[in-house]
Amino acid sequence: DVKVTQSSRYLVKRTGEKVFLECVQDMDHENMFWYRQDPGLGLRLIYFSYDVKMKEKGDIPEGYSVSREKKERFSLILESASTNQTSMYLCASSATGKPQETQYFGPGTRLLVL
Amino acid sequence: GENVEQHPSTLSVQEGDSAVIKCTYSDSASNYFPWYKQELGKRPQLIIDIRSNVGEKKDQRIAVTLNKTAKHFSLHITETQPEDSAVYFCAAGTSGYSTLTFGKGTMLLVSP
Q: Phi and psi dihedrals of B28, rounded to 5?
A: -65, -15
Strand partners, A6: A23
Closest-CA residue of B relative to A97 is: B96
- The bridge status of strand A10-13 relative to strand B72-77 is unpaired
**C-beta contacts of B55-62 below 8 A and 24+ residues apart:** B62/B35
Neighbours of B97 (CB within 10 A): 14
What's the length of chain B? 112
pLDDT tens figures, A10-64: 999 999 999 999 999 999 999 999 999 999 999 999 999 999 999 999 999 999 9
> Residues of A with CB below 8 A from B31's CB?
99-100
Give me the sign of the Cα torsion angle A79, A83, A88, A94: negative
- Supply the DSSP symbol for A58: -
Q: Report CA Rg, chain B.
A: 13
How near does any CA of chain B get to the CA of A79, in Å? 24
pLDDT tens figures, B90-107: 999 988 788 999 999 999
pLDDT tens figures, A71-96: 999 999 999 999 999 999 999 999 98
Q: How far apart are CA A9 and CA A5, in angstroms?
A: 10
> Residues of A with CB below 8 A from B94's CB?
100
> Residues of A with CB below 8 A from B104's CB?
40-42
